[in-house]
Amino acid sequence: MSMTDDIAPEPSEKATKLRMVDCDIHPALKHKKALHPYLEQRWRQHLDEFGALAHCVYATRGGPYPRFTPETARRDAWPPNGNPPGSDLEFMQTQHLDAHGIEYGILQPIVGANNARNTDLSAALCTATNRWQVDEFTSRDPRLKASIHIGAEDAELAVAEIERWAGDRNFAQIQLGSRSVEPIGRKRYWPIFEAAVRNDMPIGFHVGGPSPYAPSPSGWPDYYLEDHHVLTHSAHAQVSSMILEGVFELFPRLRVVMIEAGFAWVPSLGWRLDNHWRKLRTETPLCKRPPSEYLRQNVWFTTQPADEPERREDLRFLFEQIGFDRMMFATDYPHWDFDDPERALVMPMSKDERQMLFRGNAMKFYANLD
């Protein structure tokens, strides 16, 4: 159930007893130049004179759809100091981490650092973003773990950024967007996957990204409702690309999670790919097994936004089809479609299944949580 209004519940007995890992928390910059202290002078000057030259604006001021203002956030998410939602650690601690008994939270920064048009600038912004996460959040609250922000379009620079932070216990994963200039399974991206496996770091694909192309095969949507829905299609495409182009065959220990992309599409994607693969498998020699096997072995999913059918039993059936051990809880705090851990995912679950969903799976999946 998505919660769109003021939500600041007192922690219930259930919430305080069940320790949780929130796999999708969005930290925000206090102001537009918050990354400047982490940038060389030439990049500060570049941004002041030319801007970031991003292909599109995602989840920032000035977006093309109403959802992007104000700040994509819950109405009650503004800290008392007036800074943007997600930018004030103390308020985040009070409103979310403490209130909901969050044991660990995975930060997913969306700050415009991943720039496909100027990869040198993108690399500098990603490094700045990673240093900022540590200084502002993870060094001040050990419950929070950062994501290694990288720009996928220059694999050499991306690998250098992974190597810079992979041994740092402040970081739990590598972060990519679900939209890229080319399908992510292409060979030019493979060094990123190799670096992830070498450093035993999972990759989180958060919906969105710096792709220059319209999100819909038919062009740009007219309405935010359309735009919000087709975001998930990029996750379908990236999962299919990694499977069919042999990423999981070449890197069998690679772990990826699709974040904020829904999950009701997962079983049917596996069925459809298997059906086509049986007929056309000679075209994809690096996909040596039925695609659904790679989907089940290498890919995880977060629960927000929860696809919740009217009948609770149908939701449980969906989880069984994907696998309870492949689902990880997320809230999307502080965004407007935040999922309250005490109200979302209402369905029949055993104690062991609930523990897997809200904590156990994430503890196994992510690095540096123990």
Read off the pLDDT of residues 272-309 as tens digits, 9 standing for 90 and up.
Answer: 999 999 999 999 999 999 999 999 999 999 999 998 88
The model's pLDDT over 189-243, given as tens digits with 9 standing for 90+, comes to 999 999 999 999 999 999 988 777 888 888 888 888 888 888 899 999 999 999 9
Using CA atoms, how far residue 187 sits from 55, 170, 175, 250, in Å, is 23, 30, 19, 11
Q: For residue 53, what pLDDT is reported?
A: 67
The matching CATH number, chosen from 2.60.40.10, 1.10.3720.10, 3.20.20.140, 3.40.50.300, for 17-365 is: 3.20.20.140
Question: What is the per-residue burial (b if ≥16 Cβ within 10 Å, else e) of 39-64?
Answer: beeebbebbeeeebebebebbbeebe
Mean pLDDT of 124-143: 97
Q: Tell me the average pLDDT of the chain.
A: 90
pLDDT at residue 17, rounded to an integer: 60
Confirm if 230 and 178 have CB atoms less than 8 A apart: no
CA angle (330, 134, 130) in 5-degree steps: 80
Q: In this model, does residue 357 exceed pLDDT 50?
A: yes
Q: Percentage of residues in the chain with pLDDT exceeding 70?
A: 91
- Residue 135's identity, in one-letter code, is D
Contact 83, 325 (CB under 8 A): no
Q: pLDDT value at position 12? A: 39
The answer to whether 146 and 133 have CB atoms below 8 angstroms apart is: yes
**Encoding tokens for residue 4?**
């769109």
